[in-house]
Amino acid sequence: MSASLVLKSFETFFHSSSQLLTPRLSSASTLINQERTIFVTGGQNAEDYYIKTTEYFTPGQDPASTYGPELPNGLRLHCMVAINESTLLLTGGTSNEDSNSKFKSWFFDLGSEVWTEGPQMQYEHYAHACGKFTDSQGSDVVVVAGGLSSSDFYIEVLYMDQPTVWIRGKRNSNFFARVLYQRYLNI
């Protein structure tokens, strides 16, 4: 999907009369369904309650928003990325139900709508960034970087051909820039 079509979808999302079914702050989202649907997970509500629900938002569909499966626990300040058309990866975040949530990763199968716990990250991450890249050797990787925790400048990499262990980077902004620009973005 072109960048202009994605932008148009987001404009529709923010300017349409449709709303999410659950008001939420500090949630995570990613595009799915050939980039036609926005999958929104977790967050917190006005009462500071951590939300377990998920929603599918498809602009132009009636209803535009429908509930999806619940998260394993209420979660906010997490990150999520589509690995492929059938699998998502959710990383880190904070939970009032699980004190180790900042270290956890979860795979989500879109077909079965089942969450499966992934490998534990070596550093805690919340309010962090994540993204999927192809490295210079052609391997798909997910990079998790930063956040508000004590591991604010650490990065971790998960190779999708063997998604069993996170490889940790160094706490150094030069390392972060070098990894992203040279290895993962092929620049």
Look up the domain containing 51 and give its range: 3-184
Q: Are 140 and 134 in contact (CB under 8 A)?
A: yes
Q: Is the peptide bond before 23 cis (omega within 30 degrees of 0)?
A: no
CA dist., res. 139 & res. 177, Å (int): 19
Q: Burial, 112: exposed, middle or buried (Cβ in 10 Å; 0-12, 13-18, 19+)?
A: exposed
Q: What pLDDT is recorded for position 150?
A: 61
Q: What pLDDT is recorded for position 6?
A: 47
Q: What pLDDT is recorded for position 177?
A: 47
Q: What are the tens digits of pLDDT across the range 120-171?
A: 998 889 999 999 998 888 889 999 988 876 655 678 889 888 889 998 875 5
The residues, any chain, with a CB within 8 Å of residue 78's CB and separated by 6 or more, are 28, 41, 42, 90, 91, 92, 93, 94, 101, 126
Domain count along the chain = 1
CATH number for 116:
2.120.10.80
CA dist., res. 104 & res. 109, Å (int): 17
The yes-or-no verdict on residue 17 having pLDDT over 50 is no
pTM of the model: 0.81
Q: What are the tens digits of pLDDT across the range 74-119?
A: 999 999 999 999 999 999 999 999 999 999 999 999 999 999 999 9
